[in-house]
Amino acid sequence: MINRYSTPEMRHLWSLKRKFEIWRDIEIAACEYWATEGRITAGELDDIRNKSHFTVERISEIENEIHHDVIAFLTALAENIGPASKHVHFGLTSSDVGDTAQMALIQEAGRLIDAAFGVLLKNLYTFAQEHKDLIVAGRTHGVHAEPTTLGLKFLGYYAELKRARERLNHALEDCRFGKISGAVGTYSQMPPELETFVLKKLNLKIEPVSTQVIPRDRHAYFMQAIALAGQALYRLMQEIRLMQRTEGRELEEPFQKGQKGSSAMPHKRNPILAERICGLARVLSGYATTAEFNIPLWHERDISHSGAERVILPDATSLLEYMLLKSAFVVENLHVHEKNCERVLDATHGLLFSSRALLTVTEKTQMSREEAYAIVQQAAMATWENPDTGNLRTRLEAHPKLNAITPTDWDVVFDARSFLAHVDVIFARIKGP
- For residue 222, count other CB atoms closer than 10 A to its CB: 26
| DSSP-assigned beta bridge partners for residue 252 | 335
Distance CA 194, CA 216 (A): 23
Contact 287, 229 (CB under 8 A): no
In this structure, the strands spanning 177-178 and 205-206 are parallel
Q: Within a 13 Å sphere around the CA of 65, how many CA atoms are in the beta-carbon half?
A: 10
**Catalytic residue from among 67, 141, 267, 422:** 141
The question of whether 170 is a catalytic residue gets the answer: no
**Pairs from 393-399 (Cβ < 8 Å, separation ≥ 24):** 393/350, 393/353, 396/357, 396/361, 399/375
| DSSP-assigned beta bridge partners for residue 147 | 137
Report how far apart, in Å, the C-alpha atoms of 383 and of each of 351, 369, 394 are: 8, 21, 10
The question of whether 141 is a catalytic residue gets the answer: yes
DSSP 60-74: HHHHHHH--HHHHHH
**Catalytic residue from among 15, 60, 188, 262:** 262
User: Angle 150-174/217-243 helices, nearest 10 degrees?
Assistant: 170
Residues involved in catalysis:
141, 262
